[in-house]
Amino acid sequence: MVKNPLTPSLVPELLVSDLGDSLDFWCRLCRFEIMYERPEEGFAYVTTGSAHLMLEQHGTGRNWVTGDLDRPFGRGINFQIAVSDVQSIADSLDQASYPLFAPPETKWYRVGSDEEAGVRQFVVADPDGYLARFQESIGHRRAHPFATISEE
């Protein structure tokens, strides 16, 4: 089997309450595009850059449900989505008066013993409570050494 190099190896499928609400959030506000959809099954495949998501309306089509669904869905997970312009998405959400879960920030993460990767990011919950952490790279820098603590 030959794999298409543009198809990601992992594509989360989010079970949603209302596909129309979810498409409005992901496509209009967060700038994803519909790659394809099956409205009769309550399904849409959406992308932005190399980030891919499948959205499936609960109760329509074949759902993979392992237990009771209580909102917010997706507790304990957030999807990191790399974008080229995080501010434009934050502005789109702000203009729609859509609340953020965590405000925009600049954050440096250690990615090795002597290197940090910097991002501008914010977190927003979709209509069903799935958390999306949009982030834009601001580069790498040498890590600050850990402070040593002396014991007395």
> 104-143: per-residue pLDDT in tens?
999 999 998 899 999 999 999 999 999 999 999 999 999 8
- Give how far Cα 123 sits from Cα of 69, 88, 100, 132, 151, Å: 22, 14, 6, 6, 39
Q: Is the pLDDT of residue 4 over 80?
A: no
pLDDT digits (tens, 9 = 90+) for 52-100: 999 999 888 777 777 788 888 888 899 999 999 999 999 999 999 999 9
Q: Is the pLDDT of residue 102 over 90?
A: yes
Q: What is the pTM of this model?
A: 0.85
Distance CA 143, CA 117 (A): 9
- Give how far Cα 69 sits from Cα of 22, 23, 63, 73, Å: 17, 20, 12, 7
| Residue 90: exposure state from Cβ atoms within 10 A (0-12, 13-18, ≥19) | buried
The CATH number corresponding to 13-61+78-142 among 3.10.180.10, 3.30.70.3270, 2.60.40.1170, 3.40.50.150 equals 3.10.180.10
H-helix or E-strand spanning residue 91: helix 86-95
